[in-house]
Amino acid sequence: QNGVTIAGGNGWGDATNQLYYPYGLLVDDDQTVFIADMWNHRIMQWKNGDTTNGQVVAGSGNGLHQLDQPTDVVIDKETDSLIICDYGNDRVVRWSRHSGTTQGEIL
């Protein structure tokens, strides 16, 4: 059998169809794929069936709306949030999955 590329596959880089040192991976109940894109300092999301471009869920920096070398991501179903291991900022943050979310909170 042959594998199918579901995210990235377009060389390393910071475009939404590229990854740079993908580290942590999560697939939720809706088959949405979340990837901790460590050296792009972001969490990427790919909806089920859309393999062309991902969406940045959280991005780079040290503010509460930013990440630095995220290494893992899990879902907290009670709060419908992403829990992100933000390695470069030495913290764990909760990021709501509700639209309009502009920053996380430190746990």
CB proximity list for 92: less than 8 A, separation 6 or greater:
83, 84, 85, 86, 106, 107
Predicted confidence at residue 64, as pLDDT, reads 74
In a domain, 86, yes or no: yes
The answer to whether position 7 is within a domain reads: no
Residues (pLDDT < 70) of the chain are 51, 61-62, 99-103
Q: Can you read off the two tokens belonging to residue 89?
A: 């900022």
Within-domain flag for 9:
no
Candidates 27, 72, 32; CA nearest to 95 is 72
pLDDT at 86: 94
| 4 three-state secondary structure | coil
Token duo for residue 52: 């062309």
Using one digit for the tens of pLDDT, what is the confidence trace for 9-35?
A: 777 777 888 889 999 999 999 999 999
Question: The domain spanning residue 59 has which CATH number?
Answer: 2.40.10.500
Domain span at residue 30 reads 22-106
Prediction pTM value: 0.84
